[in-house]
Amino acid sequence: MTTSATVKSTRIALAPGDGIGPEIMNATLDLFKAAGVHDHLEFHPVEMGASIFAKGNSRGMTEEAIKITEEAGVLFKGPMETPKGGGGKSINVTARKMWNAFANLRTFRTLPGVSTPYSKAGINLNFSIVRENIEDTYGGVEHRLSNDMIQCKRLISAPGCDEVHRFAFQTARRQGVKKVHCGHKANIMKMTDGLFLERFKAAAKDFPEIETGDVIVDALCMNMVVKPQQYQMVVLPNLQGDIVSDLAAGLVGGLGFAPSANIGKHISIFEAVHGTAPDIAGQNKANPTALILSGLMMLRHLGLARHASIIENALLKALEEGVRTGDFGDPAKPVLSTTDFVKHIKDRLGSKPATVPAVDVPETGAGGDKVTWTKPPRPQHQEVIRTFANVVRHVVGCDIYLDTPLSPVAVAEEMQRVCQDTPFKLSLVSNRGTQVWPTGSSFTECVDYYRVRFELREDHRPGDFGQARCVALMDKVAEKFVVCSYELLRVFDGVKGYSLAQGQ
């Protein structure tokens, strides 16, 4: 692995990756060294990936790797495998979540020499996707609830929304983006995506010069295929952002041309998000473009904008002249190895492209030629972040989830008997989110997992008591049924903190 010979003031944790990772990382560092990057940075290899999983480490990274990364504050990594079976989770997701890299920024642009339906039509694309990186279904909180039902919890917090939205607007302001869209599914997930959209609008108030819009995610996907140039930046929740950002990569030639940055308060991760391509690993065939572009995002994050611009112009110059690896480009041009591909870029350092706009290169001494990033101090403890405080909250009932093969009517009859002589009445029975009692359709198929909702009787007011009475009710239910889970129903400043069932 190529590293700096002497310790510099700024250390970067370096994880080469699996499969083609070491090859494209060595090639990228070779290019960076030729551009003078190693005069400012020391790249310190750390052990992460498949070899660590194979030793039984379910995190996929050694304690020493964690220590070095946390001391550095920046991780530059190649593609890594997600273990199949065995309980180990994606190291990419683990790293982002453990180090709270809450915002994923991916940029998509038309590159010379990379043919797509849009480039053939003369449509040049240049836009960004900002994806919330910590929450949503990527919490990976899953349970088997009954013979036939498995649950994945979707967690969206106001502080998590605020962090990613502020990052999106700050990045838009810095890059001169005129309009930011919020992608969401708030028409269906009215509380989770509704909160994401609400906090987007709240954050926008601090950036009045930036126009905003919102778009339902399925319409966004269609629009991005039909007319992607209408978007400059879109911010989305985690799962939707993951899907849309890969769709966007397809518009500009694939994941091999899509850089990625994961930004946090204390630690940021810059990586190639394409696969490890084990079928060509070790053959010196891989395309390093995505990792190079991700590295340029890292250099700009650190303040080395001059180095990044010089390298980017050399890459653009090489691409427009037909320099290519085997996965793209003009078939009439020779297929180059990974090392030769990078050699051609190195030969063009100091040159600028002629067929596409060149990147502005700061003058020497005008800034952008030294590290300006300062590593934040290590937090002394895990911070609790909050958005809303001093909210008046009252208990108004509970949802209890049951594992039972009974019919809806039979469940309702049992629950009505259970809640006699309690402050609660049975108000709803639902199955897979659809109301099946007190009204419903005989066409609604049910599985062995029900939600039963108990709400305060008319002669009790919110605030008369706390959750203890709900727990006591759940205990009574549990005498006859398997209780899978329980959710407290509350109002927050008089607003219901729970949703209706479909058909209610």
Q: Do 12 and 23 reside in the same domain of the chain?
A: yes
**461 CA to centre of own chain:** 42
The rounded distance, in Å, linking the Cα atoms of 34 and 38 is: 8
CB-CB contact of 305 with 364 (8 Å)? no
Q: 291 and 244, same structural domain?
A: no
Three-state SS string across 90-120, please? Answer: CHHHHHHHHCCCCEEEEEEECCCCCCCHHHH
Residue 86 pLDDT class (50, 70, 90 cuts): low
Q: Same domain, yes or no, for 117 and 246?
A: yes
Q: How many domains does the structure of the chain reveal? A: 3
69 and 79 inside one domain: yes
Instruction: Report pLDDT for 8.
Output: 53
The predicted pLDDT at position 3 comes to 47
* End position of a domain, from candidates 322, 352, 386: 386
Indicate whether 484 and 360 sit together in one domain.
no
**C-alpha separations of 183 from 109, 130, 187, 222 in Å:** 20, 10, 11, 12
Let me know whether 269 and 257 are in one domain: no
Is 471's pLDDT higher than 90? Answer: yes
394, β-bridge pairs: 491
Q: pLDDT tier at 4 (50, 70, 90 boundaries)?
A: very low
Is residue 476 domain-resident? Answer: yes
Is residue 159 located within the same domain as residue 182? yes
Q: What's the confidence (pLDDT) of residue 82?
A: 77
Query: Same domain, yes or no, for 201 and 215?
Result: yes
Could you tell me the two tokens for 302? 């650190």
User: Do 122 and 208 have their domain in common?
Assistant: yes
Residues 403 and 377 reside in one and the same domain: no
Write the CATH number for 290. Answer: 3.40.718.10
Q: Which pLDDT band, with edges at 50, 70 and 90, does 58 fall under?
A: confident
Residues of the chain with pLDDT > 70: what percent?
A: 97
Strand partners, 272: 259
Partnered with residue 403 across adjacent β-strands are 449, 482
- R_g (Cα) of the chain, nearest Å: 27
Which helix (H) or strand (E) element contains residue 485? strand 482-492
- Report yes or no on 504 lying in a domain: no
State the DSSP H helix or E strand holding residue 192, giving kind and residue range, or none if neither: helix 192-204
Domain that holds residue 116: 103-262
The string of pLDDT tens digits covering residues 307-318 is 999 999 999 999
Strands 482-492 and 495-496, by their bridges, are: antiparallel
Helix (H) or strand (E) holding 63: helix 63-72
Task: Give the count of alpha carbons within 13 A of 68, CB side only.
Answer: 19
Q: Which residues contact 11 (CB under 8 A, 6 or more apart)?
A: 41, 42, 43, 44, 68, 71, 72
Predicted pLDDT at 85: 57
Phi, psi of 407 (to 5 degrees): -75, 160
If 0-12 CB within 10 Å is exposed, 13-18 middle and 19+ buried, where does residue 161 land? buried
Q: Could you tell me if 412 and 379 lie in one domain?
A: no
For 472-501, how does the pLDDT look when each residue is reduced to its tens digit (9 = 90+)?
999 999 999 999 999 999 999 999 999 999
Contacts with 406 (C-beta within 8 Å, 6 or more apart), sequence order: 414
Cα–Cα distance, 144 to 411 (Å, whole number): 21
Helix, strand, coil percentages in the chain from 3-state DSSP, rounded to 5: 35, 20, 45
Residue 177 included in any domain: yes
Give residue 81's pLDDT band: very low, low, confident or very high (50, 70, 90): confident
d(CA 347, CA 344) in angstroms, rounded, equals: 5
**Within a domain: residue 503?**
no
Could you tell me if 380 and 419 lie in one domain? no
In the chain, the largest separation of any two C-alpha atoms, in whole Å, equals 84
Q: Of 245, 262, 279, at which residue does a domain stop? A: 262
- Spatial separation of the C-alpha atoms in residues 127 and 23, rounded to whole Å: 29
What CATH number does residue 450 fall under? 3.30.70.1570
Dihedral of the alpha carbons of 197, 203, 208, 212, in degrees to the nearest 10: -20
b/e string for 6-45 if b means 16 or more Cβ within 10 A? eeeebbbbbbbbbbbbbbbbbbbbbbbbbbebbebbbbbe
Residue 84: what pLDDT?
67
Task: Output the CA angle 230-246-27, nearest 5 degrees.
Answer: 110
From 233, 262, 291, give the residue that closes a domain.
Answer: 262
Instruction: Give the distance from CA 424 to its chain's centroid.
Output: 41
